[in-house]
Structure 1
Amino acid sequence: MDTRRRPEPTTATRRIPAGLLPALLLAATLAGCGTTQPAGGSPPAAPAVPIELDAAALDLVTWSGTFPAGHHLVLRAMAKVTADCMRTHGFTWTPYAAEPPLDGTDEQRTLDLERRRRDGYGLWRTDGDGAQEPPSADPAADEPRYQQALNGDPARTGSLDVPGLGTITYALDGCTARGYATVFGDITTWARVAYLPQGINRTAARTAAAHPRHGEALAAWSRCMAGHGHRYATPDDIRVALGTAYRQSGGRAEDRREAEVALAVQDARCDQQVRLTATELELRREAVRALAVDQRAEIARLSAGFTAAVARARSLLAA
């Protein structure tokens, strides 16, 4: 799974997989202030403040290690609950398929060399922005009654202020909310675990991008690419340049594929050679470890909530 597709804050770094929630999680949207927190539901009880965060907590914030596998289980379980709920309303709901995480290291999962060999960055088949909205599998999806069953009363929402992201609003009822609450114990815990780590990760990403070790790795990557005839300062510059070129030139998508694949593969090879992605992740994890005690305590609570959700997901999928 290419975890760098969704646009992230502008930094001279890799696309951070912090904001990557599949379609099932996207019912909660960024919005302005004005909604209220839901009644009932609370975060998991706070564990003792750790001197050092454990690996699971760091994985949650940085979308690395064991987190992708647990996240995939959670998505499958929430989809199962949502589909069962929709059937009680007389609808067939088919979620977008969530690909299981790749085997291998975090670097290998992030770069996904095999996907690059097949599809490059995936921009060649689009107008350059990478957007490909899959069609709904349910012909009734546009009916008001269907949307009411899936997303609930639009007037009933909760909100969560997320530093670095803004105010998140989310539905409090409907089948999607039932899926969230069933797996996470309550809707508030789902919202906190789904979004607060993203804000923390973005802060850690900015810290990592400013570190001299990252700058050295980035410069080494740029020299490696230049040595193969590609002059870019950062990996993000490649996607920006390709998108601009595709929008301006038009032409047949298939004609663009071969060159894009070659560029994407060389990008990954240079990245691996100089350890750009690996260094960025190391620095992000270091930044999270160095957070203030209250922030580490919050991360520990979020990690406990996610661990409990994974356990519920396993039980639901086994039933």
Structure 2
Amino acid sequence: MAGRTGSCPGRGKAVATLLLCLAAPALSACTAAPPPPSPRTPVPEPTVAARALTPAERQTLAKAEALLTRNCMEERGFSYHVTEDLPDGVNRLFPHVVDDEGWAAEHGYGSDIQRKRDSLAAKNPNQLYFRSLSAERRDAAVDALNGPEATGLEARIPGMGTVRHSDQGCESEAQRSLYSDLRKWYSAWKVTDALERSVPPAVARDERFTAAVSRWSTCMRTKGHSYSSPMEARQRFVRPTGAPGSGESRATEIATARAEAQCAGTSGLAKTARTLTRAERAKTESDHSTEFINRKTLESGALNRARDIVKAG
């Protein structure tokens, strides 16, 4: 749900961006022209102690938001589908190095997972639905989903600028229903999400990490695989959607990934990456504690309501 920086894009660009966003299960904060603001007034949440949610609990929140968005869109005369989550690929599961030999033996570098992701995205019912609409009807659907120009919600992301989004539309209405304080939620969500994504690059720049990568590369060469880094190895086997394949066999992919996992342990790269990641995350949360606490508090406070919404379907 990536926000927009600056002014609203033109109508054609907004629709094209929306269709791209709909290929993923969680919709992006694409901007478009406004539907009327919702008259509903959210019920304030009781104060809840801040805590980090588990991945399963965050999935519950995401599904509840999707269900609320569906209901809102249907009230406005449009279809909206709650879609299957795309499976996590190698970059999400192993941002620095594949260190699980069992996973590598089954998936290699995850080219099988990438194919599944591509297939699910191509068959995404929301994307297909929006493409099936007339231009006029599609514009109205964009309006209903995303609300007006990027005004009403704002998040200042340290070192990255400001993102803005409409505080109307079904996406915002769903988030308001879940979290009550939509403006606080939007800022906390966008800031923490961006900062969390900044952790892996910060780790990769650390001299201790680059030294461990060098040891990993030496280990890989002794096993017959000449790669300067784990990133170089995975890019050979997992290509962006539409890019030509590497021509390497599935057996070669698995053998290389298994060697990577073995070298991740013997070189100390896996341990170094985990240690640096914990330290970088702790520093990031400490430096920006307000937004992280706000997000944890709002998510915790919304969890019971989300469970009820998911149960009702």
TM bracket, shorter-chain basis: 0.5 to 0.7
Q: Does 1:209 align with 2:197?
A: no
Superposition deviation, residue 268 in structure 1? 3.4
Match of 1:310 among 270, 281, 303: 303
More displaced 10-residue stretch of structure 1: 263-272 or 190-199: 263-272
Match of 2:122 among 112, 134, 137: 134
* Structure 2 partner of 1:188: 183
Asked if the contact 1:46–1:300 (Cα under 8 Å) also holds between the matched residues in 2, the reply is no
* Structure 2 partner of 1:284: 277
Q: Does 1:221 align with 2:208?
A: no
* Structure 2 partner of 1:121: 110
Q: Equivalents in 2 of 1:291, 1:316: separation in Å?
A: 33
Partner AA of 1:137 in structure 2: P
More displaced 10-residue stretch of structure 1: 267-276 or 300-309: 267-276
Q: Does 1:150 align with 2:145?
A: yes
Q: Equivalents in 1 of 2:246, 2:205: separation in Å?
A: 38
Q: Equivalents in 2 of 1:312, 1:120: separation in Å?
A: 38
Over 3 Å counting, the alpha-carbon distance change for 1:278 and 1:87 in structure 2 is farther
Over 3 Å counting, the alpha-carbon distance change for 1:100 and 1:133 in structure 2 is closer
Q: Equivalents in 2 of 1:152, 1:217: separation in Å?
A: 48
Q: Does 1:233 align with 2:228?
A: yes
More displaced 10-residue stretch of structure 1: 195-204 or 179-188: 195-204
Asked if the contact 1:120–1:264 (Cα under 8 Å) also holds between the matched residues in 2, the reply is yes
Q: What is the aligned length? A: 263
Partner AA of 1:180 in structure 2: Q
* Structure 1 partner of 2:58: 71
Q: Equivalents in 1 of 2:291, 2:240: separation in Å?
A: 44
Partner AA of 1:69 in structure 2: A
Asked if the contact 1:28–1:171 (Cα under 8 Å) also holds between the matched residues in 2, the reply is no
Q: Does 1:83 align with 2:70?
A: yes
Over 3 Å counting, the alpha-carbon distance change for 1:232 and 1:291 in structure 2 is same
Deviations 1:238-279 (A, max 9, x none): 24455789999x5xx595451334333433343355453453
Partner AA of 2:269 in structure 1: L
Q: Equivalents in 1 of 2:241, 2:26: separation in Å?
A: 30
Q: Does 1:163 align with 2:165?
A: no
Q: Equivalents in 1 of 2:225, 2:286: separation in Å?
A: 44
Q: Equivalents in 2 of 1:192, 1:288: separation in Å?
A: 19
Over 3 Å counting, the alpha-carbon distance change for 1:47 and 1:246 in structure 2 is closer
Structure 1 residues not aligned, in runs of 5+: 1-21, 30-39, 49-53, 58-65
Partner AA of 2:122 in structure 1: P
Superposition deviation, residue 115 in structure 1? 7.4
Larger Rg: 2
Superposition deviation, residue 76 in structure 1? 0.9
Q: Equivalents in 2 of 1:174, 1:265: separation in Å?
A: 47
Asked if the contact 1:140–1:146 (Cα under 8 Å) also holds between the matched residues in 2, the reply is no
Q: Which TM-score applies when normalising by structure 1? A: 0.63
Q: Equivalents in 2 of 1:288, 1:124: separation in Å?
A: 27
Deviations 1:136-186 (A, max 9, x none): 414541422222222223465533221244332323222122222222223
Asked if the contact 2:188–2:295 (Cα under 8 Å) also holds between the matched residues in 1, the reply is yes
Partner AA of 2:227 in structure 1: Y
Over 3 Å counting, the alpha-carbon distance change for 1:255 and 1:211 in structure 2 is closer
Partner AA of 1:93 in structure 2: Y
Over 3 Å counting, the alpha-carbon distance change for 1:318 and 1:172 in structure 2 is same
Q: Equivalents in 2 of 1:241, 1:312: separation in Å?
A: 44
Q: Equivalents in 1 of 2:59, 2:185: separation in Å?
A: 15
Q: Equivalents in 2 of 1:214, 1:155: separation in Å?
A: 40
Deviations 1:198-230 (A, max 9, x none): 333355445433445433432332223222222
Asked if the contact 1:120–1:262 (Cα under 8 Å) also holds between the matched residues in 2, the reply is no
Over 3 Å counting, the alpha-carbon distance change for 1:182 and 1:241 in structure 2 is same
Q: Does 1:26 align with 2:46?
A: no
Partner AA of 1:168 in structure 2: V
Over 3 Å counting, the alpha-carbon distance change for 1:312 and 1:121 in structure 2 is same
* Structure 2 partner of 1:51: none
Partner AA of 1:150 in structure 2: L
